Amino acid sequence: MRALLPPGVAILNEPETVWAAMLDGWSAQQLARNLSLSTIVSRRRLAERFRDFAEEYPWAWTVEQVDHFFMELRALRGGSRSTVLGYQNALRMFLGYLTDPTYGWGELCWERFGTHPAQVFHEWNTARHVQDAVGEPGKRPYTRNELEDLFDCADERVVRIRRAGSKGWIPAFRIATLMKTAYAWGLRRNEVRMLDLVDLASNPQARQFNDLGIVYVRHGKAMRGSPPKRRAVLTLPEFAWAVECIEEWLTEVRPLFVAPLATMLWPSERGHGASPIAADSVSRAFNEVKREAGLDDTLDFHSLRRSYVTHLVEIGYDAFFIQQQVGHEHASTTSIYTGLSPDYRARVVNDAIARMAHATTTDSPKEN
């Protein structure tokens, strides 16, 4: 930083120049840590947003400004707990960078402004990360009846739009099949929308699924500083119906609006299908179906993945197998996703009572 802002040299609009250099330096540090560009850009925007709120530069930030910023975020803007936690962690890291003596920002600010940046995000004024997944209590899996309503509504929209003579039935068919795929293979929104034709493969141990016995996920959720995590998701017999849905999409509908060489499984309308459907387009189309089906607002696209985990548990699949299918690093994360139905829990209790009754009968001494 000395080469960029040498001491004793007059600089026009000195505070703004130092501020811009701080942001550039932090961006470079994050690039060196191999973080994604999207993460770096969003964190930089957050730092700028906090600076605008505080109306001060980092060397004058205070804990009171932290309190007021997050009070407004929660009370007026409806920020979720996970959003608050993410914002606080990012801003804490920014100040950690500025207060690290290695980078010399504290000394530079003292020479030029008579003060220096200080860490204002402490344990006592920020949220604590106490579990692997942070979510609102209202986030839950769909019940089987809700899933049926959701998918039926998606299918009915296709029929209705097609009967009206509109070409919009093809995008409606796309989102209906994409939703079913997300549930039947337990995929996140980005994982499912980024699927390519080459990601679909046969499973020698399950030839009944043809070329859909395995779905290779190449755009899984990345760990910090790491590339997207890859995994192979096996097609399960309970979801054979989803295989038929994708085959119908591939053979009858998808060829109607994509170029012959396009390989994205869910192509966008632009560029003859050379690019995948945008994440916002997935969310917008999904929410339209969900509202039309009359389902709870707390149920979201990710609830399809929660449903997958829950239903595999209820069916009786091994916990480690489920963890591998959904690509969780820790079993505790998978357990958080699980929301067992009252019927299933009642069945477990009844089975336990039956086993106890049988054991009592078997172990009781016989009368002479």
DSSP-H helix ranges across the chain: 14-32, 37-54, 63-75, 81-99, 105-113, 144-163, 169-185, 189-193, 240-248, 279-292, 302-315, 319-326, 331-337, 342-363
* Nearest CA among 73, 104, 150 for reference residue 307: 150
Sequential DSSP letters for 144-170: HHHHHHHHHHHHHHHHHHHHTT-TTHH
Residue 266: CB atoms within 10 Å: 22
How much is the pLDDT for 68?
94
How much is the pLDDT for 302?
93
How much is the pLDDT for 208?
94
pTM of the predicted model as reported, rounded to 2 decimal places:
0.64
How much is the pLDDT for 130?
45
Sequential DSSP letters for 209-224: GGGGSEEEEEEEPPPT
Widest distance between CA atoms in the chain? 107
CA distance 253 to 249: 5
Residues of 5-29 as b/e, b for ≥16 C-beta within 10 angstroms?
Answer: beeeeeeeeeeeebbebbbebbbeb
pLDDT in tens, the chain (368 residues): 544 555 556 667 889 999 999 999 999 999 988 888 888 999 999 999 999 999 999 999 999 999 999 999 988 888 888 788 889 999 999 999 999 999 999 999 998 899 999 999 988 888 765 444 444 555 788 989 999 999 999 999 999 999 998 889 999 999 999 999 999 999 999 999 999 999 999 999 999 999 999 999 998 887 666 678 899 999 999 999 999 999 999 999 999 888 878 899 999 987 666 789 999 999 999 999 999 999 988 889 999 999 999 999 888 899 899 999 998 887 766 666 666 555 555 555 555 556 666 666 665 555 54
Q: For the purposes of burial, counting CB atoms within 10 Å of the CB of 265, is it exposed (0-12), middle (13-18) or buried (19 or more)?
A: buried
Say if residues 317 and 329 touch (Cβ distance below 8 Å).
Answer: no
Say if residues 135 and 91 touch (Cβ distance below 8 Å).
Answer: no
Enumerate the β-bridge partners of residue 216.
232
Q: Which 3 state secondary structure label does DSSP give 201?
A: strand
Task: Report residue 354 as tokens.
Answer: 């039956």
* Nearest CA among 199, 150, 157, 198 for reference residue 174: 157
- The residues, any chain, with a CB within 8 Å of residue 303's CB and separated by 6 or more, are 139, 140, 141, 142
Task: Give the orientation angle of helix 81-99 with respect to helix 37-54, to 10 degrees.
Answer: 90
CA distance 333 to 233: 18
